[in-house]
Chain A
Amino acid sequence: MTTPAPQSDTDAAYAPVARRLLIPTWITIGILMVLPVALMAIYSFLTKEFRGGVIWDFTLDAYDQFFITRGLFGDEPAQIEWTYITIFWRSIWQAGLATILCLAIGFPTAWFIATRPAHTRGIWLFLITIPYWVNLLIRTVSLKFLIRDNGPLNESLMSIGLITDPLPLVNTNLAVQLGLFYSYLPFMVLPIYAAVERYNFTLSEAAADLYASRFATLREIVLPVVKPGIIAGCILVFVPSLGAFLAPDLLGGAKTFMIGSLIDEQFKGSQGNWPFGAAASMILMTLVMIVLLLYARAQTKGGAR
């Protein structure tokens, strides 16, 4: 199916009312999402009020606070403020590592499932997706319970004598990555599974006939063919990881502070700074949009389907 089937009358039965049917969607998402995001963009240019609100005076203060420092008393020459850039950089790094972790485990899993006989694939997929349906907060709390200093993981490792002191896992970068991995793994497995399922295994057989080793086949033949699935999986894990709040907040500590917590803080109580929080959200959204645009471009370039 390279060309879309000609529009027949039966496929367009709702054409006369199509736009009327979309009115509820336009109203709901338009008013409750597009308008708020536009308003947030405006807020990021307003002046903060000390009780946690805004004054309608336009200023670049929020972005200035994000990127530039002028010393404690504001009288030194302007320099780059690294505090927030570091938090963003750390978030990108954490999300990236979590994505790699998901890929390393998710690809073999997806491959394994896609090569099962057709009637058992559904069960395997079902097993992988169930945890995704379980409340994210509960999953994160459960993970924390398992890996905390005197939790079941450390207790059992100590009782079999593998370690003598509990592994300090909670409040580390590793715990946050593990939490992100645990949160979004199914997003990696499902698109790769879909790609591998469509993969034509005779290609692998041809490679094997020509004496390619298993891993040469994987590298040279399989990976290029299923690459769209891998990229889609990486985006689906990376993007929500970047703005994640629960995993860093519950599993991490002060040293693993990520964008989500930074934004959250700006809206809590009288200590908050709404314009700054709006500006940080705008910067986060810009980053995500850049990733999505790059993805869309790569797809249209390579997607001669």
Chain B
Amino acid sequence: MKGVRHYPGFLAITLGCLFILYAPLAVVAVYSFNDSPSITQWGGLSLRWYVDVFTGPESARFGQAAWNSLTIAFMAATTATAIATAAALAMIRGGPFRGKQASFALINLPLMVPEIVIAVATLIFFSTIGLTTGYLTILLAHITFCIPFAYLPLAARLQGIEGTYEQAARDLYATRWQGFRLILLPLMMPGLISGWLLAFIISLDDFIITNFVKGAGMETLPTAIFGSVKQGIKPNIMAISTLMLLVSIAFVTLSYLVNRKGRPVA
């Protein structure tokens, strides 16, 4: 039984794969605790670069960038999740209707068009309608490309919920809105949260599109880090990277737990 599943060397490749994936992150995390201002020499353990991130000469710039990143990600993820929820209801519970195929293609469009093309097109669009690039243009662009990422976990979740629960509510004279708010929404919650978290991370992660539509003087964390890295990798960048790494891991763990907790209900 076990024989046909086993191929020699596959375990080694898997472990090698994990090593390649984690080694660079681990190395940067370790070096972020380096006491030396040089990135090559090891000068003992220290938290000085973490202190530097919050109080050092670049702290104001990175602080502002982090604030922009987090507020944009929060608003973009929330708006995209709301749009995606409505879309998922129509696509999964809407039965057949004209334009369904086209709607499906439209929802997935941001995943199919290469990022750099979206960046170029969005910049040209804002420039043509005369909207000054800045916070608002970043937010609008982020809402758009976050929609499919919020949609996917939501639609998957909704597919797993039987329609009979809501049917029961409607048999008891609940309106469609009451059925949605009191029955379907709580059942959809794990998918909603996963979708929101995914959209939040995707927004926080984006560099290319943001870089095109941010305008002069406006920075998000990735564009600020990119600007610094162009002049060489400095220890404070490694400390920021490690902090962002922790945020990402916290988010993905949260999403995993929410999904797992939600599963037995379906």
Contact = CB atoms under 8 A, between A and B. Distances in A.
Q: Do A and B come from one complex?
A: yes
B107 interface: yes
Interface of B is mostly: helix
A163 interface: no
A211 to B, nearest CB: 13
B25 to A, nearest CB: 5
A75 interface: no
Interface in A124-146: 124, 126-131, 133-139, 141-146
Nearest to A146: B24
Nearest to B8: A214
Interface stretch (B49-57, B59-67, B188-196, B202-210): B202-210
A216 to B, nearest CB: 12
A13 B167 CA distance: 8
B125 to A, nearest CB: 4
A86 interface: no
A10 B163 contact: yes
Nearest to B83: A24
A250 B229 contact: yes
A105 B205 contact: no
Given A32-B144, A33-B144, A36-B125, A112 B14 contact: yes
A182 B20 contact: yes
Contacts of B140: 32
Contacts of A281: 116-117, 120-121
A240 B205 CA distance: 15
A126 to B, nearest CB: 6
B106 A25 contact: yes
Given A15-B97, A33-B109, A281-B116, A9 B167 contact: yes
Interface residues of B, number: 94
A112 B27 contact: no
B89 interface: yes
Interface string B132-149: 000000001101100100
B172 interface: no
Contact of A217 (B4, B201, B226): B4
Nearest to A7: B95
A285 interface: yes
Contacts of A18: 89-90, 93-95, 97
B23 A146 contact: yes
A33 to B, nearest CB: 5
Contacts of A53: 127
Given A13-B93, A112-B11, A139 B25 contact: yes
A105 B11 CA distance: 11
Given A12-B94, A34-B106, A109-B14, A185 B21 contact: yes
B87 interface: yes
* A-side interface size class: 35 or more
A12 B252 CA distance: 33
A22 B87 contact: yes
Contacts of A290: none
B4 A201 contact: yes
A28 B95 contact: no
B89 A136 contact: no
B249 interface: yes
A284 interface: yes
Contacts of B99: 19, 22
B72 interface: no
Given A43-B124, A135-B204, A135-B205, 17 more contacts: A9-B163, A12-B93, A12-B95, A13-B170, A13-B176, A14-B90, A19-B97, A33-B113, A36-B118, A129-B252, A152-B31, A155-B40, A181-B20, A214-B7, A277-B120, A281-B120, A285-B113
12 contacts: A12-B94, A19-B97, A32-B122, A32-B143, A35-B125, A130-B248, A134-B245, A137-B225, A142-B241, A182-B20, A263-B117, A284-B114
